[in-house]
Amino acid sequence: MSNNKIRREFFKFSFLLPALIIFTIIVVVPFFKGILYSFTNWDGVSKSYSYVGLNNYLHLFSDEYILADTGHTLIFTLLQTISCNMLGLLLALGVKKSGRLTNFLRAVYFMPFVLSIVLASFIFTFIFHNVGYDLLHIMNPLSDKGTVLSGIALIALWRDSGYAMVIYLASLQAIPDSYYEAADVDGAKALKKFFHITLPLIVPAFTINLTMFIGWGLKTFDYVYVSTGGGPGRSSETLAQLVYMYTFPYNRASFGQAAALVMFVMIALITGIIARVFRKKEVEV
């Protein structure tokens, strides 16, 4: 490689250096420090701490709340992933053809995703309580242990289904019209065309959306913290909230770091397996 080419490549790379340095300081260094602290008894404040080996990890799996919070997290993830993807796909099918009305509807459907999770949670907390319960005398789903996770998933459905719609819409528009024209010649009905043409050819969109939503669901914190705070009782507390509680209010940062690392490994494994399974389907298609 000539010196001029090396200089050009280094010049291009230099534009990445500021972002790379910031990312290293904010993400990489704290991540590896967190691994170190997970083997100590650090409280998050003191300058001194002692190494305790695997004690934090051993106590983690015997914690009375860890199994319950894992269950809450998995239920919410399942509800959010299925509902957002189903509605997102239906919306994408409805606005597939370009036009003034469909372009307007695309913007309307996507608009909630522009809002922050905190704002979306505040809006629905107000609707559930002040409008639904006080005005219409409808039970507030966030106030009952049996419906609280469904209520939080409903907030996620309203906000996030527009994102899923955009991914599915891009995949639907990439399917050549000639496939559907050939199916029409063969006399195929709409349902048959959907299952034999549309569905197999949008598998890449499923790979993206399912992996993304499962990852979001497993590390969800904002929806729960703002709308219920983990209540009623601790019936909606998630793993991410448990990590937060141990790290800050309980002053057990080392235990919180151990929980965060376990959660990180769980998310990486689950999303990795899901992505691998669906990528194999893409190859088959």
Q: Is the pLDDT of residue 283 over 80?
A: no
Of 203, 213, 216, 218, which is closest to residue 277 (Cα–Cα)?
203
User: Do residues 253 and 247 make contact, with C-beta atoms less than 8 angstroms apart?
Assistant: yes
pLDDT at 284 over 60: no
Residue 40, beta-bridge partner list: 51
Give the integer Cα–Cα distance in Å for 205 and 183: 22
Torsion, Cα of 223, 225, 227, 228 (10° steps): 130
Question: Percentages helix, strand, coil for the chain, rounded to the nearest 5?
Answer: 75, 0, 25
pLDDT band at 158 (very low <50, low <70, confident <90, very high): very high
Model pLDDT, residue 2: 66
Closest to 76 (Cα-Cα) out of 178, 149, 166: 149
**pTM (2 d.p.):** 0.90
pLDDT tens digit sequence for 14-55: 888 899 999 999 999 999 999 999 999 998 888 888 999 999
68-103: per-residue pLDDT in tens? 999 999 999 999 999 999 999 999 999 998 889 999
Domains of the chain: 3-56 (no CATH), 57-284 (1.10.3720.10)
